[in-house]
Structure 1
Amino acid sequence: MWCVLRNETNSDWEVFNDPKAILVARTLDDVEGVLKAAEAAAEQHRVVGYVAYEAAGAFDPALVAYRSHQPLAVFGVFDKVSALSPSDQDQAEAPRVLLKPKIEYSKYAQQIGRVKKALQAGDSYQVNLTYPLSGQFEGDPLQILLKMYEAQPTPFAALCCFEDSAIVSVSPELFFRLEGNHIATEPMKGTAARFLEPAADQQSQEQLVCSAKDRAENLMITDMIRNDLGRICEPGSIRVEDLFQVQALPTVWQQTSKVQGRTQAGFYQIMAALFPCASITGAPKPQTMAIIHDLETGPRGVYTGAIGILRSPRQMQFSVAIRTLTLSKSANSASYGVGGGIVWDSQAELEWEETKQKTAVLNGVAPALIETMHFDPEEGVALWPFHLNRLKRSAKDLGFAFSQGQATEIVKQFHHPQRVKLRLLLARSGNLALESSPLPEVNGPVKLALADAPVPDEDLRFRHKTTARSGYVQMRGARSDIDDVILWDQRELVIESSIYNIWIGQGSVLKTPRLERSGLPGVYRDYLLHSGKGEIADITVSDLKAADQIFVSNAVRGLLPATLISAEPQSDRL
């Protein structure tokens, strides 16, 4: 296990590695012992780690949550701490995280309708409804942390790596800070978008300041936390300060309040009183968590749990684990949760937009969507409507901001005396860029070979055209005798190559793979299908090997003949 956190003064990074011990709770029965052991270890060591949302039942059986196959709490006991070296912060290879929501807006709106029925029945006053985004990542988790920190600097930024998982968090929300006998919390409730245009940004801030709905949400959660603190604080010591303060974060305006008091409680007692934080459950906590369990489709994991450090038994700090990525290093998979408090006057469309705003911290680690196009000085960009439609579909699917009008205008304004290759790049933030380069030469039939292993189903990197290309590079390998590699799935169905769609000729008919589970529907492929010059079919590896003719296509080169090379030359294997 190793971890990276901001230091006490928030002036630099601290690196914790080579733990003397690792404390792990894998069942609810383990949680109390792990937290008490963490507090005891903090007498002489620094203890860093996290507690997952699903650990709630260890503190109160009435706090229901999904059963998780991941650890409920993990803490490393460290003697050594060092600063992050300049070489560790070198971002020569940009990390990339590609995610999409695991829920459609229509389903989310239905869930909000069910929340309102529960509110009407008096089962809850506010429900913090969340959903995950999932997908793939490329690169080093540390570099992902540093890029996300650039987007949202926060004193609670953290990276915790344990076994196959890496938890990357840039949470802006303090769960609690204990210094001696003084405990402080800073619950967040109420969010508004940030804008580049100063007048629009100020208007958004003012709307949040004046929002009766957001103030009511914040006050409700502040009262809950005050009540939770009342279980462990000295009578008369609890006070609320800076109620409804609007904090400027780089990606959103966030409304916070502060609640503090005096306590002699230890780590386990504090967690038992406060966890999970009321801001990510709702009110009242037991009934609302039961509603959440009925509506959400799986465990939240570390998201909405807590991440932090014990520097001593009376000095500790934990964040609420929002704005948090969970990475599986072996599978290159990633998940990121978003959500918000739902009350009676919540509007589904506005709540959906708010959850999208909370993904803005991912903009710096998201790959760009790309369209690679053929430009002719007489005719302009070939097949532009097909390119535009594909870019629009991917942007909607992945949550990228996108202006069709702006994209069309950029392409229309391009001029060049010769035919060239164009590449239009769309950043997750909506920024567009256009690049040009000479058209590539293609001599003779395109030489193809089958990949050594199947492509995993539902890998977003193979479903959308992006700058996240390492999956294709890995499939291609180091072969020098071919032009491209053919991808296939676990059912031995042909998918595509790394830059072409595949076609086989049977008489006068061209057939191309169906691409149901993986693969990128190319623009020239769509054009041929739309014009009736080809048809979709299930094409197996055996079909490909037996085909009379093989062709490949893309928007830059059109339709080209290809040949299948059956095996890698022996000299290339040595």
Structure 2
Amino acid sequence: KPVDVRTEGPLLWFGLFADYQTIAPEDVAALLPDPAGAWTGAPEPLIDRDTYDASLSRVLDLIAAGDIYQANLTFAATVPFVGDPLALYARLRSQAKAGYGALIDTGETRFLSLSPELFFALDGDTLTCRPMKGTAPRGDTPDADRALAETLAADPKQRAENLMIVDLMRNDLSRVATQVAVPDLFTVETYPTVHQMTSTVTAMLKPDCDAVDVLTALFPCGSITGAPKQRAMEIIAEVEHARTRGIYTGAIGRFDANGDAIFNVAIRTLAIQNGAATMSLGSGIVADSAADAEWDECHAKGAFVTARQRRFDLIETMAFDPDDGLPRLEAHLARMKASAQALGFTFDRHTARNELQAATFRLRGPRRIRLLLSPSGAIAIEAAPLPHSPAQATVAIVPLPVTATDFRLRHKTSARAFYDDARKAAGTFEVVFEDAEGFLTEGSFTSLFVQRGEALVTPPLRRGLLPGILRTDLLESGRATEAPLTRADLTAGFFIGNAVRGLIPAIVTVANSTDRRV
């Protein structure tokens, strides 16, 4: 019985290339942007727990009825994401220990695969498969972590799951190969958020078969379908609530001109389209599977998208005056709320307002007030003397050191070292960043304004810059408009400014156009 394979995307996507280049891992890292330029939240399932439990119960009923021994039950999830997809890949690649990862850009979608699972490798006439089945969470201490890995290695349920898939892979391989062997069984590998059990199956390709025959015989991988494979796929089509799995649990790899091939199993794989990220998560269901454990296993597998993510706070900096208080307070709170929503921070606007009022109640002179918000919603407030501003600011034009899609350009955060480093290196009061296309964006702590007649002009947000409070105020009042700016526009006079300092006349003293990062 054929399985419904209707999908909104292609079933097969490939490119033909005259050659390929082998690049050392450290050189690949140098080609990618700053890993800090992307932020992700924890995966959010597109089904609720009751729906998942009902699907799992149906699978268990079919196992009890003898239809199958095991099925891989999965669900789709959205991944809160802002920033540069390439920066996200750089971060995940550096930490995920993905031996079979890939970055694919189809023009419409970017696939970021951090797969630890080898589907198959064909080297001459030697075939190798490394099915992965069996999972345990990481421990909080070295001793606890080691104990969990040892428990996984000896767990009869996990071994039984793994062995079922090994037997399935051996059977599939026998169609196209001889001398099928299992040199390694029940090996535990450790990844940032989970321990995984893998086994290695090898074989010798039959003389009349090639890599396409191997893919035809093995696809899809038994570790992500179940056993028996055909009936498991029919059940998956019945009980999973996504229309199709898309790239998830498919395969990403290459065929070489000499006949060799290598493909992964596309797990731990994100798809990013139109700025939105999705992925899927799953686990193998057998007769004694429990819903709580399987649900938790899926979430443990998805935790790699946030593992070791650099922590930062959201910031708002404002001027306090004993007579006027905090004049633009509501605008600052609105911007912090928007950033908190985009980045998954907890934020109570009423609490922030009250704490600011309490912190400034006894102040007797002008102050610079800094409001900091942690991801959990904790608020900190710092007060300092208002900074001195020169009558005319010296400015250096420097290359934008991050990509225009870096989320730190659009949200005011404590992750701002690249701003401060650029200003210190220039040795001027401020810098103005120039992007890869030669357009000016903003300063390290100010917005940019050019004088055109009676009006001010400021770069549009799409160039990659912060929606500054002073900038927004001038735009909304009609005193400023948006337009792309280049360094040639600065000759007629320009200003830099922010909500604390106001507008400051500026002059360019350094114009460095080299070493532009793209």
TM-score calculated relative to the size of structure 2:
0.63
The change in CA–CA distance for 1:563 and 1:138 in structure 2 (over 3 A counts) is: closer
Structure 2: distance between partners of 1:123 and 1:568 = 72
Q: Which residue matches 1:423?
A: 372
SS in 2 for 1:77: coil
Query: What are the equivalent positions in structure 2 for 1:277-292 lying under 5 Å apart?
Result: 277-292=221-236
Query: What are the equivalent positions in structure 2 for 1:205-220 lying under 5 Å apart?
Result: 205-220=149-164
Matched, 1:229 2:173: yes
Q: Which residue matches 1:178?
A: 122
Structure 2: distance between partners of 1:202 and 1:289 = 35
Structure 2: distance between partners of 1:340 and 1:479 = 52
User: After superposition, what is the alpha-carbon deviation per residue over 1:96-141, rounded to whole angstroms, capped at 9, x for unaligned?
Assistant: 2344221222221222112112222222211101112214533433
1:268 corresponds, among 209, 212, 217, to 212
Q: Which residue matches 2:295?
A: 352
Structure 1: distance between partners of 2:117 and 2:271 = 18
Structure 2: distance between partners of 1:183 and 1:229 = 9
The change in CA–CA distance for 1:313 and 1:568 in structure 2 (over 3 A counts) is: farther
Structure 2: distance between partners of 1:440 and 1:117 = 70
Structure 1: distance between partners of 2:414 and 2:248 = 25
TM-score calculated relative to the size of structure 1:
0.57
Structure 2: distance between partners of 1:184 and 1:219 = 16
C-alpha contact 2:71 2:286 (8 A) present in aligned 1: yes
Structure 2: distance between partners of 1:167 and 1:150 = 17
C-alpha contact 2:474 2:480 (8 A) present in aligned 1: no
Query: What are the equivalent positions in structure 2 for 1:158-197 lying under 5 Å apart?
Result: 158-197=102-141
The change in CA–CA distance for 1:107 and 1:315 in structure 2 (over 3 A counts) is: same
CA-CA distance at 1:166 after TM superposition: 1.2
User: After superposition, what is the alpha-carbon deviation per residue over 1:16-44, rounded to whole angstroms, capped at 9, x for unaligned?
Assistant: xxxxxxxxxxxxxxxxxxxxxxxxxxxxx
Structure 2: distance between partners of 1:433 and 1:89 = 33
2:198 corresponds, among 251, 256, 259, to 256
Q: Which residue matches 1:29?
A: none
Q: Which residue matches 2:38?
A: 95
C-alpha contact 1:188 1:254 (8 A) present in aligned 2: yes
Amino acid aligned to 1:423: L
Amino acid aligned to 1:198: P
Amino acid aligned to 2:102: A
The change in CA–CA distance for 1:368 and 1:80 in structure 2 (over 3 A counts) is: same
CA-CA distance at 1:179 after TM superposition: 1.1
Structure 2: distance between partners of 1:263 and 1:571 = 64
Amino acid aligned to 1:179: D
Q: Which residue matches 2:254?
A: 309
The change in CA–CA distance for 1:166 and 1:255 in structure 2 (over 3 A counts) is: same
Amino acid aligned to 1:350: A
Q: Which residue matches 2:268?
A: 323
Q: Percent identity?
A: 33
Structure 1: distance between partners of 2:229 and 2:163 = 15
Structure 1: distance between partners of 2:234 and 2:468 = 48
CA-CA distance at 1:145 after TM superposition: 1.9
Q: Which residue matches 1:544?
A: none
CA RMSD of aligned residues (A): 4.7
Matched, 1:74 2:14: yes
C-alpha contact 1:128 1:342 (8 A) present in aligned 2: yes
The change in CA–CA distance for 1:440 and 1:311 in structure 2 (over 3 A counts) is: farther
Query: What are the equivalent positions in structure 2 for 1:120-159 lying under 5 Å apart?
Result: 120-159=64-103
Amino acid aligned to 2:204: R
Q: Which residue matches 1:340?
A: 283
CA-CA distance at 1:567 after TM superposition: 4.9
C-alpha contact 2:314 2:413 (8 A) present in aligned 1: no
Amino acid aligned to 1:75: G
User: After superposition, what is the alpha-carbon deviation per residue over 1:184-222, rounded to whole angstroms, capped at 9, x for unaligned?
Assistant: 101010000112401211221122122111111111111
Structure 1: distance between partners of 2:99 and 2:59 = 34
Q: Which runs of 5+ in 1 are unaligned?
A: 1-60, 375-389, 403-410, 442-460, 470-475, 483-497, 501-561
Structure 2: distance between partners of 1:202 and 1:153 = 18
The change in CA–CA distance for 1:154 and 1:183 in structure 2 (over 3 A counts) is: same
Structure 2: distance between partners of 1:147 and 1:570 = 37
Structure 2: distance between partners of 1:132 and 1:425 = 29
